[in-house]
Amino acid sequence: MKITGVKTFLADGGVRPWTFVKVETDDGVVGWGDCTEWDVYRGVTHLVDEFSERVIGKDPMNSEKIWYDLMVDNVRHNGGLAWKAMAGIDNALWDIKGKVLGVPVWQLLGGKLHDELRLYWSHCGTFRNRWAKKLGTPPVQRTGDLKKLSEEVLAKGFTAIKTNLMPLKDLPSPGSVASGRIGGHASPDQIRNAVGLVETFRAALGPDVGIAVDIALRFKLGGAIDIARALEPYNLMWLETETFDPGSLRTVRESTRTRICTGESLYGLDGYRPFLERYAQDVIMPDFAWNGITMGRKICDLAQAYDTFVAPHNCHSPICTLVSANVMATCPNFMILEFDQDDPPWRDDFLTHPFTVKNGYLKVPDRPGLGSDLVERELRKRPWNG
């Protein structure tokens, strides 16, 4: 069996370009992967095209060898766009492998520990604050809108959410919403914004619903500590803060009662090991659209050795959700899975077999491969136009 073609599709994911990879084989089996990158997405598709020349003619069942061959080719720029492109191909190879053997990918990874996976409603309020019109949702402009949204969260049965600092008419300004690290001090208004949001959600959702806050890479050490301490009274599921310095994150964790989650911008075992060795966080958040199933599963196992929970970064396409579900179904240290409930209404049109979400839980699919193919006609109908 040989790989005969590798194609990419940039489809409209509502607020980001869903980047799909299709791997074709000489016996007609095809596999689908996701390597969505929100910003430099043409760089990723270009690299997939570049790597296609290196994988065409190879046996798609040798996914481990193909991963390491591409890793060696990219050794001087470990991680980043190169790994995203590699991950898209890798996910598609696992899809092919499952289809050829007639089993779900989770079966290839050791079998299921979980039939259902607990989800949290990600970007809760954030997407509606920025893109309500595009997504066809009610807008979020004031804290009262968050209260209404909370009723929807409870009615749909979700047991956890994640939100971000956002501009609301009745709260102090959160400043720039860019997630870069220029600056990094948490201003009094930014802290008031975070407290106002979380206070509103906690009052509306009650004491038992998990609330996570994602501040990404916006704040340096001192800023992250200030926010973590200010949010202590609300018993967060976690504060998600990123840094490339594990010692800094360990200091954040030791400075607050708030649980800390990190990792979406880290790659591979080398990226995670120094954070795990220092127990710098309570929960790690590997991204399988950026580490592939091959490396992603190894990261989860490494976290298991350090007694650390995994809650995958999963804010890309529905293929990424299927990838995450197949890996997480097999992991004893699975905590909870990110899920964008406010995905665009055409999401399921892209899938031949849409997955089932009920009462805030995702049913792990039983079909061979990842669990669904994509409908190319629908992808072409909705290209990403920036």
Q: Is the Cβ of residue 63 or residue 122 nearer to Mg ion in the bound state?
A: 122
> Quick count: other Cβ atoms within 10 Å of Cβ 217?
18
**Between 192 and 221, how does the x/- string for binding to Mg ion read (CB under 5 A)?**
----------------------x-------
Nearest distance, CB of residue 57 and Mg ion, angstroms:
38
DSSP, collapsed to helix, strand or coil, labels residue 74 as coil
Please tell me the chain's helix, strand, coil percentages from 3-state DSSP, rounded to the nearest 5. Answer: 45, 20, 40
Nearest distance, CB of residue 67 and Mg ion, angstroms:
25
**Rounded to whole angstroms, how far apart are CA atoms 141 and 25?**
49
Nearest distance, CB of residue 281 and Mg ion, angstroms:
13
**Rounded to whole angstroms, how far apart are CA atoms 196 and 215?**
15
**Between 235 and 254, how does the x/- string for binding to Mg ion read (CB under 5 A)?**
-----x--------------
Nearest distance, CB of residue 278 and Mg ion, angstroms:
20
**Between 252 and 271, how does the x/- string for binding to Mg ion read (CB under 5 A)?**
------------x-------
- How many residues of this chain bind Mg ion (CB under 5 A)? 3
Q: Is the Cβ of residue 37 or residue 240 nearer to Mg ion in the bound state?
A: 240
Instruction: Give 166's contacts (C-beta < 8 A, 6+ positions apart).
Output: 125, 126, 129, 130, 140, 174, 177, 193, 197
Tokens at residue 367, please?
Answer: 């079909």
Tokens at residue 135, please?
Answer: 């997504």
Nearest distance, CB of residue 182 and Mg ion, angstroms:
18
Q: Is the Cβ of residue 163 or residue 200 nearer to Mg ion in the bound state?
A: 163
Q: Is the Cβ of residue 96 or residue 320 nearer to Mg ion in the bound state?
A: 320
Q: Is the Cβ of residue 99 or residue 128 nearer to Mg ion in the bound state?
A: 128
Tokens at residue 257, please?
Answer: 């009662």
Q: Is the Cβ of residue 6 or residue 224 nearer to Mg ion in the bound state?
A: 224
Burial of 181 (0-12, 13-18, 19+ CB in 10 A): middle
Site residues (vs Mg ion, CB under 5 A): 214, 240, 264
